[in-house]
């Protein structure tokens, strides 16, 4: 089989784990599969880089910045020595040294400028993945498999300039295919996930968790038989196992369900990761690196109707609710259009919308990081009448129940809200897409975990079927 295998941060948390991953890839290669590997940064490194970058721009402390680079250097060199045979280390050290120097210069540059743009943030956070690909590739050579490493840009991922959440141009798919077809068939390419390059040659990132997206872009480019996302969980689960220990892995779900789950906060998948797979109907598998024989979750186009109409419960808690209200809105044409255009112009991402039939109120949920911008632009837009009040609240969370079979089945919403009512959970806002693949609603932030637990139980998601 032609397989793209992506390894997440926890799977390659240190040198020993990288070595285990190399052995795992070797095993699948020896079974006769053609494999392309996509890698994330070491566990926690992207967060640490972003933190250091913000500190550098705020404090301008070069001593601290250089200490950070020394730590990153030590961490990656240790990973290299643990993952790679001694006689193969030298070549890779030379490659890494160039990256350590560039990283140091870039971070010192931020200290001097006292300014961190989206473009420089992307360049800095790309070092996590760029440092790991050469190490994992060397580790594969150590276990006797030919391998070369590439960045996302080198393999052909060309994106727009939307730093922090860049999107690949259509031409990417052909470019990646051409690049890969030129490589030796016996060698396994190891590609840095999460990153691409734009037309001006600057490094871009595909958004947090973006290595899933990279794997899927590459899988679609080469028309892989399957795309495998290796993580530290047994698959896509009925809910986040960190919130509900009884959560269990789903053996099979549809593309639409996986997408809905990721849109509504299931961190296990990047929200755009399914989209490229759909182009060529490529199955996506989520597997556990630490239990490789477990089948994991298979994500496919369509799935037979099962017993459970509700498949999963998700939660997003870094969101804010904006309420736009006023008697002047009733019957006034174009208020909603103005709201959406204004938010779109300010690049505010809308998570959820709800309008009461009285038309005197429009509620919108946005990312918490965009709360202030959203309120500012809306107040400016409606400075002269129509809208009475614009209020916002970040102490909320969006909970969603997801399942493609919910469409057309009466009573699911009734069960959701009855269960919440019975448990004294106050629902602030409700929304259901007309596709009926999810029912999502807003609760107070402090009630979110309890809400998820109640619904997980209500729909018997904890019981193995
Ligand atoms: P990786 O970085 O390896 O790609 P992630 O950390 O992005 O892996 O995704 C795995 C994490 O997603 C788990 O630690 C888990 O807590 C969280 N998660 C949230 N919702 C779900 C879900 N429905 N199923 C599985 N994991 C989930
Ligand atoms: N390292 C990146 C992040 O932490 C991308 C990824 O892990 O998929 O967001
Ligand atoms: Mg991830």
User: For 9-47, what is each residue's pLDDT tens digit?
Assistant: 999 999 999 999 999 999 999 999 999 999 999 999 999
Closest CA to 30 of 186, 177, 168, 245: 186
Number of the ligand closest to the Cα of 42: 2
Which of 71-85, 89-103, 232-246, 344-358 shows the lowest per-residue confidence on average (mean pLDDT)?
344-358
Distance (Å) from CA 276 to ligand 3 centroid: 17
pLDDT score at 172? 98
Distance (Å) from CA 231 to ligand 1 centroid: 7
Q: Ligand 2 within 6 A of 40 CB? A: yes
Distance (Å) from CA 7 to ligand 3 centroid: 9
Q: What is the mean pLDDT of residues 166-184?
A: 97
Closest ligand 2 atom to 128 CA:
1
H or E stretch covering 299: strand 297-300
Q: Where in the chain is the domain with CATH 3.40.1160.10?
A: 2-232
Which 8-state DSSP code applies to residue 389? E
Backbone angles phi, psi at 179, to 5 degrees: -60, -45
Backbone angles phi, psi at 292, to 5 degrees: -65, -20
| Sign, Cα dihedral of 234, 235, 238, 240 | positive
Residue 465 banded pLDDT, cuts 50, 70, 90: low
Closest CA to 384 of 348, 347, 346, 335: 335
Give pLDDT tens digits for 249-275: 999 999 999 999 999 999 999 989 999
Q: Ligand 2 within 6 A of 41 CB? A: yes
Q: For Cα atoms 113, 115, 118, give the angle at the middle one, nearest 5 degrees.
A: 130
For a mutational test of ligand 1's pocket, the pick from 45, 206, 227, 231, i.e. the residue with the most ligand atoms closer than 8 A to its C-beta, is: 231
Q: What is the mean pLDDT of residues 432-449?
A: 87
Q: Ligand 1 within 6 A of 191 CB? A: no
Distance (Å) from CA 356 to ligand 1 centroid: 35
Cβ atoms of 15 and 74 closer than 8 Å: no
Q: Ligand 2 within 6 A of 209 CB? A: yes
**Nearest residue by C-alpha to atom 8 in ligand 2:** 209
Closest ligand 2 atom to 212 CA:
8
Number of the ligand closest to the Cα of 10: 1
Closest ligand 2 atom to 129 CA:
1
Q: Where in the chain is the domain with CATH 3.30.2130.10?
A: 312-463
Closest CA to 440 of 313, 266, 267, 305: 313
User: Topology of domain 2-232, per CATH?
Assistant: Carbamate kinase (3.40.1160)
Q: Percent helix, strand, coil in the chain (nearest 5)?
A: 45, 20, 35
Domain 312-463 in this protein, CATH class? alpha beta
Q: What is the mean pLDDT of residues 411-425?
A: 92
Q: Ligand 1 within 6 A of 196 CB? A: no
The whole model's pTM is what?
Answer: 0.93
pLDDT score at 304? 67
Rounded to whole angstroms, the Cα distance separating 8 from 194 reads 11
Rounded to whole angstroms, the Cα distance separating 283 from 195 reads 23
For a mutational test of ligand 1's pocket, the pick from 38, 209, 268, i.e. the residue with the most ligand atoms closer than 8 A to its C-beta, is: 268
Give pLDDT tens digits for 201-249: 999 999 999 999 999 999 999 999 999 999 999 999 999 999 999 999 9
DSSP three-state, residue 398 = strand
Residue 1 banded pLDDT, cuts 50, 70, 90: very high
């Amino acid at each position: 089989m032609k397989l793209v295998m992506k390894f997440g941060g926890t799977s390659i948390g240190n040198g020993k784990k990288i070595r285990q991953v190399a052995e795992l890839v070797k095993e699948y290669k020896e079974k006769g599969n053609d494999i392309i590997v996509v890698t994330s940064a070491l566990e926690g490194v992207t967060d640490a880089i972003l933190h250091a970058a913000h500190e550098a721009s705020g404090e301008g402390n070069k001593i601290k910045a250089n200490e950070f680079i020394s730590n990153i250097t030590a961490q990656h060199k240790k990973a290299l020595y643990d993952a790679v045979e001694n006689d193969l280390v030298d070549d890779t050290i030379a490659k890494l040294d160039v990256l350590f120097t560039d990283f140091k210069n870039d971070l010192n540059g931020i200290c001097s400028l006292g300014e961190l743009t989206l473009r420089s943030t992307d360049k800095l956070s790309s070092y996590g993945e760029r440092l790991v690909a050469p190490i994992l590739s060397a580790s594969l050579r150590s276990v006797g498999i030919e391998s070369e490493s590439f960045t996302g840009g080198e393999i052909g991922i060309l994106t727009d300039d939307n730093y922090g959440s860049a999107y690949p141009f259509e031409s990417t798919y052909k470019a990646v295919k051409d690049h890969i077809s030129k490589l030796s068939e016996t060698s396994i390419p190891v590609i840095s996930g999460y990153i691409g390059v734009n037309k001006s040659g600057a490094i871009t990132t595909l958004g947090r968790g973006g290595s899933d997206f990279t794997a899927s872009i590459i899988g679609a480019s080469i028309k892989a038989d399957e795309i495998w996302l290796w993580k530290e969980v047994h698959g896509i689960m009925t809910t986040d196992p960190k919130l509900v220990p009884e959560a269990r892995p789903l053996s099979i779900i549809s593309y639409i369900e996986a997408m809905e789950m990721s849109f509504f906060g299931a961190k296990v998948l990047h929200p755009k990761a399914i989209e490229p797979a759909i182009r060529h109907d490529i199955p996506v598998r989520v597997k556990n690196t630490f239990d490789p024989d477990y089948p994991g979750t298979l994500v496919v186009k369509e799935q037979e109707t099962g017993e459970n109409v509700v498949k999963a419960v998700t939660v997003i808690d870094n969101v804010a609710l904006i309420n736009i209200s006023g008697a002047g809105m009733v019957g006034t044409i174009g208020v909603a259009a103005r709201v959406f255009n204004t938010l779109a112009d300010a690049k505010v991402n809308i998570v959820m919308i709800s309008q009461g039939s009285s038309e005197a109120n429009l509620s919108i949920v946005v990312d918490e990081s965009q709360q202030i911008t959203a309120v500012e632009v809306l107040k400016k837009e409606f400075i002269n009448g129509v809208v009475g009040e614009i209020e916002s609240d970040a102490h909320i969370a969006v909970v969603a129940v997801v399942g493609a079979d919910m469409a057309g089945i009466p009573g699911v919403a009734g069960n959701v809200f009855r269960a919440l009512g019975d448990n004294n959970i106050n629902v602030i806002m409700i929304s259901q897409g007309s596709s009926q693949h999810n029912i999502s609603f807003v609760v107070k932030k402090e009630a979110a975990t309890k809400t998820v637990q109640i619904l997980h139980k209500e729909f018997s998601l904890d019981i193995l079927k």
